[in-house]
């Protein structure tokens, strides 16, 4: 005896056969019903006119509404076959839902601008713990840069402190400042109190001056990026006691949609030369990946004490901060495995020298560690002239006419364009104090640079 329950989809569990004629005169072509059949059947169950609901606009054949047959409440199949409330009469067999009516309402209001979103995020930061989701155009961003972009009112030093103390969680795990984010990750931000900015009217004249100053530094610009000639003494980001910096000046170039140009990498305050700025978040993420994958090529010029015996060489060390809690601490040469130690690799070449006392060195860094070139120059016994942190040559006097300023220039950078992938090659001129030294020592800035032939990795 067959005890299997009858199948739904036809009388007595049998599927409709092809070629048989329905009650409305339409011949079935297979076991599946058409969308029109489903709409007509649902209309009949509701007692409506199927033609009024025809999604194709045609006239459907009229069909009398069939009253549902009463069924006993004790029937165990009632719960499985009864349609939900509002969709049909009790006991009716379920069918596909009719096509929904198109809602002809007012257009949705435009969403908040990026500036309003950042302001709202900064405001909620002080209220308590919150969880942020990483967007696709934030892929590859460092966790500290991610927080700085999301909360512009939060000082960068405070961001580093939050991460260092383990107060930040990414997918439930502790994060390091240089950890990279991927789309869909959740970032848990602890409750913080921000220093409320003083309520003062926006100074249009000052913003115009800042915008003009930034534009005067542009060496290259297109719709996606620009490369600035950062002057000596101008910080890239704010910090303790630093009010005027590149990141703050870029706010004057904020577009109507609230998008502010973004930093892609950093230079020391006293290092002049090429600094890349992204105009969009997508360009910033793409350019950051180029730096991380070492697709970007950088050349630095420096004036150093003494003349190296090896005119071209390679410096490979591990570097670590002397004070791990200080963002601008002096770097020391460390051993592999030391806490906080990172590998640093630099190629150098001597371009020219003066009286066996000063050298014009050209550097090509492979890695990008803090103070890498300054620490490596000191490590090989030829520190950079004017370096207050690493210059420690005994009985050495600064030649007359040379200013006691850091003689380090980010001379040239070659990087794939974030959209086209074609190389963008830009060179920066010597800053005034280095140009003065070059003229005094008889160095020719147009001379061939042998570092170009140095290995790439």
Q: Which residues are catalytic?
A: 268
First-to-final CA distance of the chain: 80
Minimal CA–CA distance to 38: which of 122, 107, 118, 94?
94
Long-range CB contacts (within 8 A, 24+) of 72-80:
77/5
Structure tokens at 110: 């435009």
How is residue 370 annotated by DSSP? Answer: T
Query: Would you give the distance in Å from CA 422 to the centre of its chain?
Result: 21
Q: Going by DSSP bridges, is the β-strand pair 186-189/169-170 parallel, antiparallel, or unpaired?
A: antiparallel
Distance set, CA 281 to CA 117, 210, 221, 332, 367 (Å): 14, 22, 16, 34, 24
Burial of 242 (0-12, 13-18, 19+ CB in 10 A): middle
Which of these, 227, 154, 164, 224, lies nearest to 191 by C-alpha position?
154
What are the structure tokens assigned to 223, written together? 């719709």
Tokens at 63, concatenated:
């069909």
Chain-centroid distance of CA 421 in Å reads 18
């Amino acid at each position: 005896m067959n005890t299997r329950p009858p199948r739904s989809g036809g009388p007595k569990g049998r599927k409709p056969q092809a070629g048989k004629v329905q009650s409305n005169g339409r011949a079935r072509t297979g076991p599946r019903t058409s969308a029109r059949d489903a709409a007509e059947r649902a209309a009949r169950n509701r007692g409506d006119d199927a033609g009024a609901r025809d999604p194709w606009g045609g006239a459907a054949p009229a069909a009398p509404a069939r009253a549902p047959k009463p069924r006993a409440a004790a029937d165990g199949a009632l719960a499985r076959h009864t349609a939900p409330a509002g969709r049909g009469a009790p006991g009716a067999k379920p069918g596909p839902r009719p096509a929904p009516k198109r809602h002809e309402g007012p257009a949705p209001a435009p969403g908040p601008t990026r500036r309003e979103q950042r302001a709202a995020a900064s405001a909620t930061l002080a209220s308590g713990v919150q969880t942020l989701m990483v967007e696709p155009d934030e892929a590859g961003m460092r966790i500290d840069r991610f927080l700085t972009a999301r909360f512009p009112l939060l000082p960068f030093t405070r961001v580093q402190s939050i991460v260092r103390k383990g107060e930040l969680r990414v997918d439930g795990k502790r994060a390091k400042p240089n950890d990279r984010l991927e789309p869909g990750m959740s970032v848990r931000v602890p409750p913080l109190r921000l220093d409320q900015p003083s309520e003062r009217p926006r100074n249009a004249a000052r913003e115009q001056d800042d915008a003009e100053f930034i534009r005067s530094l542009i060496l290259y610009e297109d719709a996606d990026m620009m490369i600035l000639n950062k002057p000596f003494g101008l910080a890239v980001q704010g910090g303790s006691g630093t009010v005027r910096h590149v990141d703050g000046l870029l706010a004057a170039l904020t577009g109507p949609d609230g998008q502010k140009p973004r930093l892609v990498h950093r230079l020391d305050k006293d290092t002049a030369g090429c600094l890349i700025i992204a105009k969009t978040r997508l360009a910033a993420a793409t350019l950051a990946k180029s730096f991380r994958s070492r697709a970007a090529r950088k050349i630095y010029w420096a004036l150093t004490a003494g003349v190296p015996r090896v005119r071209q060489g390679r410096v490979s060390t591990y570097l670590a901060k002397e004070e791990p809690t200080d963002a601008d601490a002096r770097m020391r040469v460390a051993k592999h495995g030391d806490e906080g130690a990172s590998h640093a690799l630099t190629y150098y070449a001597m371009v020219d020298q003066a009286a066996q006392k000063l050298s014009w060195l050209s550097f090509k860094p492979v890695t990008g560690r803090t103070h890498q070139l300054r620490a490596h120059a000191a490590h090989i016994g030829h520190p950079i002239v004017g370096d207050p942190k690493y210059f420690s040559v005994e009985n050495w006097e600064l030649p007359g006419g040379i200013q006691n300023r850091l003689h380090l220039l980010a001379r040239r950078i070659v990087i794939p364009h974030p959209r086209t992938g074609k190389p963008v090659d830009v060179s920066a001129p010597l800053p005034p104090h280095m140009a003065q030294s070059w003229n005094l020592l008889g160095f020719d800035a147009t001379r061939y640079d042998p570092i170009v032939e140095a290995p790439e990795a």
